Chains A and B, each alone.
Chain A
């Protein structure tokens, strides 16, 4: 059976697309080495529009208004500049209310784009640009450690990773947060208190790697201006041992935290990249696997949710589970030497 894969890899080749949400100007070049914070593409986007009903303002028909309109599509207008002037002894004037760009003219109306803002796309992690996607972005390659998460608050940053977890089950409390952590990415464990998120915001921290977060804090976590990445699940869940080992042994290294939201259709997942030097390109991670004896697997559901074990054997046919349901299952041995029969659909391959 095809197995979902959750990447936790010590050294691999990482290739990621970085794209603008709308078309723009790509500033990076192929083979350019980029840092995590470097701008690779930029664009401008207007959040608001203003529709000027010239015909109505001047009291004329739409066709007559079209003849009085002085601007064309793509014209840039200064605030208060004339858009149309009426006729008569005391002609009325229609003016641009703000600095604007004309996007449509017709039917006696003018549609203006106002409040333009700049969007900068950053590399997100240090690496080499291997492809430029015209008007949209770049593809960057790097080597290093990779840990995928299950939830992210949509932000991105990088910094020195500081480990505040004594065990995979550590709960991060505000008392653990002090000013020496300013500008760091915190490896923090379970998040159960709003005060913890606030304390990290006040520092400010450059990022937070959590094993889990209680559901009541998700809305606040989305509001935080630093990236928050959850490795294992929503609730109170310890960090899976493979991710904990990899992250804790790489403490005090620079890490890139891309806490993008998990999208099952596009495949975007929050992830931590630990840039590491490699003499040759290490192997790429497998995107698909099949369940087989010896596979390292992580549990996606109770019992033993979040725990990592290895498949001892795949059970033939369908197995009746303690719930009474029948499903394809495997015998899994965990690190504490306990074994369990687990339905295949409740597992993912770690690697």
Chain B
């Protein structure tokens, strides 16, 4: 990389999460941008402080303590730009996921067409759909008005009408929304995003323009019946989300001012980074990022021609946890547990963690419960996200997870696990990857920050990615197979750079590990048994595949896809303990 394109500018990135606020410094070292250090402090969106800038200042202060360099002045304002004495930074970017999910009303002409597209659009940021309205609905206009007044949506997303198509129907849908907004006090009026028929812009302005807190337009997310185009609207929605958050979260306007408007929703910034990386990697396989945070679980996937961003507040590990049982059963959470835990302990855990999202497991039993809950939440999020993965993605079987490489995992539940093996088992069980993938742990939760940084400096993410800011867990090999427990399903060999070899016979139902440390590389040869697919077709292997090492090395997951778990709970717990032990557990 020529150094001439590196401007010697330092950049501070702040992520305001539901539980924690992180301040991360990127700076130029030896002609390249590097992740320097990060400081962390509890977020202060909530009472009694209710000012997110305080948590940000505290995180910067923690960072100052590590750097032994002043970033804040005596009034605790950020020193911008950097000074000759080395204090301050040259730029700031901010990402935010803190705050309750935005109450959203979705409006579409046809239930299965534009309404469904509008619903999919809401899943690209931190929203909770409180109601939906379509032409086929049974409610009278006055009932729609009463519902809006009762539920007080903070955001309305309107889709519908193909470009050049009929306009009268869309107008009919907008009337009750305009009337309801008119009846709401001005400070309670919702922000409106119109992502429908391009030719209706003037009419939408006339009908709801003066009655919305903000009115945004994006290109039609359903330009024709058989075509959906969500990404441009995602960008508009991200801007709208930040405007709503600036109203809700005191102090965000100050941070946004310091950042010169470079404030993004955390999930959107992650999505940007995934799009960027999938362009860089340019592989036939997809690229997957999962983030298991307190406010939500975020799945971002990049494919050859499409990216998918899914934000699931209902699967977050914080205040929404009490609602998890609306989507799953206790038995399905308990199936991941290595201990015989009474179901009531899970219910109590969900309620207590929802009350105190920032708390962490201090005992082994509490950690087992937390990991079981996290695993089930990520499993459910992946199931949901898979519905919107492109049909032409690289699959071994369309009913399984597509082929991804790499898989990047972040968020407190993953990066705070006590050891990489624990994080990896959580990922293998919930994401259930197939084929051969590199697994990377975003232990400093840099993905969204790099996504935001890229909006100011597009070289910075490239440089930082090439350094050791991310923890490579290793290469995982996950064959697709159904066999008898204990049957050999593949033979594999790793040839190290030293010329030494390590071999493994993988049996169905087992996990195996071959060592290959961080910074090391090797050549992997796999010969699958008949019918076993590792991504090259049934029974077809690979020779001398260049792979890089990681904290765990090369991990072979012979447990079948979908994951084959014994129904007997005692046997299942024994096996999970064994798997955990294989990945470094005690």
Q: Chain A: residues with CB nearer than 8 A to chain B?
A: 1-2, 5, 22-23, 47-51, 103-104, 107, 111, 150-151, 214-216, 233-236, 262-268, 287-288, 300-303, 305, 321-327, 342-343, 345-346
Q: Is the CB of B142 within 8 A of A51?
A: yes
Q: Is the CB of A346 within 8 A of B359?
A: yes
Q: A103-B183, A264-B46, A301-B366 are in contact. List 16 more A-B contacts (CB 8 A).
A: A2-B41, A49-B142, A104-B179, A214-B344, A215-B322, A265-B47, A265-B50, A301-B359, A301-B362, A302-B366, A305-B352, A321-B360, A323-B361, A323-B363, A345-B358, A346-B362
Q: Does B569 contact A (CB under 8 A)?
A: no
State the CA gap A324–B416 with chains docked (Å): 10
Q: Does B141 contact A (CB under 8 A)?
A: yes
Assuming the contacts A1-B42, A150-B355, A264-B46, asked whether A327 and B419 have C-beta atoms less than 8 A apart, the reply is no
Residues from chain A with a CB closer than 8 A to the CB of B142 are 48-51, 111
State the CA gap A214–B42 with chains docked (Å): 29
Q: Is the CB of A343 within 8 A of B351?
A: no
Q: Does B319 contact A (CB under 8 A)?
A: yes
Contact among B45, B185, B347 with A22 in the assembled complex (CB-CB below 8 Å): B185
Residues from chain A with a CB closer than 8 A to the CB of B418 are 323-326
Q: Is the CB of A345 within 8 A of B363?
A: no
Q: Does B541 contact A (CB under 8 A)?
A: no
State the CA gap A324–B319 with chains docked (Å): 24
Chain B 329-369 against A: per-residue CB contact (8 Å), 1 yes, 0 no?
A: 00000000000000010011011110110111111111100
Chain B 443-468 against A: per-residue CB contact (8 Å), 1 yes, 0 no?
A: 00000000000000000000000000
Chain B 399-423 against A: per-residue CB contact (8 Å), 1 yes, 0 no?
A: 0000000000000000011110010
Residue among A234, A236, A267 with most chain B CB within 10 A:
A234
Q: Is the CB of A49 within 8 A of B363?
A: no
Q: Is the CB of A111 within 8 A of B363?
A: no
Q: Does B156 contact A (CB under 8 A)?
A: no
Q: Is the CB of B360 within 8 A of A303?
A: no
Residues from chain A with a CB closer than 8 A to the CB of B42 are 1-2, 345
Q: Does B536 contact A (CB under 8 A)?
A: no
Q: Which residues 173-192 of B have a CB within 8 angstroms of A?
A: 175-176, 179, 182-183, 185
Residue among A150, A321, A326 with most chain B CB within 10 A:
A321
State the CA gap A121–B366 with chains docked (Å): 43
State the CA gap A265–B319 with chains docked (Å): 11
Assuming the contacts A48-B146, A264-B46, asked whether A302 and B363 have C-beta atoms less than 8 A apart, the reply is yes
- Quote the shortest CB–CB distance from A342 to chain B (angstroms): 7
Q: Is the CB of A324 within 8 A of B367?
A: yes
Residues from chain A with a CB closer than 8 A to the CB of B134 are none
List the A residue with the shortest CB-CB distance to B188. Answer: A22
Contact among B46, B47, B359 with A300 in the assembled complex (CB-CB below 8 Å): B359
Residues from chain A with a CB closer than 8 A to the CB of B319 are 264
Q: Is the CB of B182 within 8 A of A345?
A: no
- Quote the shortest CB–CB distance from A149 to chain B (angstroms): 11
Q: Is the CB of A327 within 8 A of B50?
A: no
State the CA gap A22–B49 with chains docked (Å): 25
Residues from chain B with a CB closer than 8 A to the CB of A103 are 183
8 interchain pairs, CB-CB under 8 A = A2-B44, A23-B185, A103-B183, A263-B47, A300-B355, A322-B362, A324-B418, A346-B360
State the CA gap A264–B100 with chains docked (Å): 10
Contact among A48, A49, A301, A342 with B356 in the assembled complex (CB-CB below 8 Å): A301
Q: Does B107 contact A (CB under 8 A)?
A: no
State the CA gap A345–B19 with chains docked (Å): 10
Q: Is the CB of B47 within 8 A of A266?
A: yes
Contact among A48, A111, A262, A325 with B416 in the assembled complex (CB-CB below 8 Å): A325
Contact among B351, B356, B360 with A235 in the assembled complex (CB-CB below 8 Å): B351
Residues from chain A with a CB closer than 8 A to the CB of B182 are 104
Q: Which residues 189-219 of B have a CB within 8 angstroms of A?
A: none
Q: Does B58 contact A (CB under 8 A)?
A: yes
Q: Is the CB of B141 within 8 A of A300?
A: no
- Quote the shortest CB–CB distance from B24 to chain A (angstroms): 18
Q: Does B571 contact A (CB under 8 A)?
A: no
Q: Does B168 contact A (CB under 8 A)?
A: no
Residues from chain A with a CB closer than 8 A to the CB of B179 are 51, 104, 111
State the CA gap A326–B443 with chains docked (Å): 13
Q: Is the CB of B361 within 8 A of A325?
A: yes
Assuming the contacts A301-B366, A325-B418, A342-B362, asked whether A235 and B344 have C-beta atoms less than 8 A apart, the reply is yes
Q: Is the CB of B99 within 8 A of A265?
A: yes
State the CA gap A223–B546 with chains docked (Å): 63
- 8 nearest interchain CB pairs? A267-B47, A324-B418, A234-B351, A235-B348, A287-B48, A323-B367, A264-B46, A51-B142
Q: Does B387 contact A (CB under 8 A)?
A: no
Q: Is the CB of B362 within 8 A of A288?
A: no
- Quote the shortest CB–CB distance from B281 to chain A (angstroms): 32
List the B residue with the shortest CB-CB distance to A3. Answer: B42
Q: Is the CB of B360 within 8 A of A343?
A: yes
List the A residue with the shortest CB-CB distance to B62. Answer: A1
- Quote the shortest CB–CB distance from A331 to chain B (angstroms): 13
- Quote the shortest CB–CB distance from A137 to chain B (angstroms): 15
Q: Does B554 contact A (CB under 8 A)?
A: no
Q: Is the CB of A345 within 8 A of B48?
A: no
Assuming the contacts A215-B348, A235-B348, asked whether A49 and B145 have C-beta atoms less than 8 A apart, the reply is yes
Residues from chain B with a CB closer than 8 A to the CB of A23 are 185
Q: Is the CB of B100 within 8 A of A322?
A: no
Q: Is the CB of B185 within 8 A of A267?
A: no
Q: Is the CB of B47 within 8 A of A233?
A: no
State the CA gap A301–B359 with chains docked (Å): 7
Residues from chain B with a CB closer than 8 A to the CB of A107 are 175
Q: Does B140 contact A (CB under 8 A)?
A: yes
State the CA gap A51–B139 with chains docked (Å): 12
State the CA gap A14–B325 with chains docked (Å): 38
List the A residue with the shortest CB-CB distance to B149. Answer: A49
Assuming the contacts A104-B182, A267-B47, asked whether A325 and B367 have C-beta atoms less than 8 A apart, the reply is yes
State the CA gap A70–B36 with chains docked (Å): 72
- Quote the shortest CB–CB distance from B424 to chain A (angstroms): 15
Residues from chain B with a CB closer than 8 A to the CB of A214 are 344
Q: Is the CB of B100 within 8 A of A345?
A: no
State the CA gap A302–B369 with chains docked (Å): 11
Assuming the contacts A265-B46, A265-B100, asked whether A345 and B360 have C-beta atoms less than 8 A apart, the reply is yes
Q: Is the CB of B363 within 8 A of A2?
A: no
List the A residue with the shortest CB-CB distance to B345. Answer: A235
List the A residue with the shortest CB-CB distance to B368. Answer: A323
Residues from chain B with a CB closer than 8 A to the CB of A343 are 359-360, 362
Residues from chain A with a CB closer than 8 A to the CB of B248 are 265
Residues from chain A with a CB closer than 8 A to the CB of B416 are 325
Residues from chain B with a CB closer than 8 A to the CB of A322 are 362-364
State the CA gap A103–B363 with chains docked (Å): 59
Q: Is the CB of A345 within 8 A of B348?
A: no
State the CA gap A234–B140 with chains docked (Å): 41
State the CA gap A342–B140 with chains docked (Å): 56
Chain B 263-302 against A: per-residue CB contact (8 Å), 1 yes, 0 no?
A: 0000000000000000000000000000000000000000
- Quote the shortest CB–CB distance from B414 to chain A (angstroms): 13
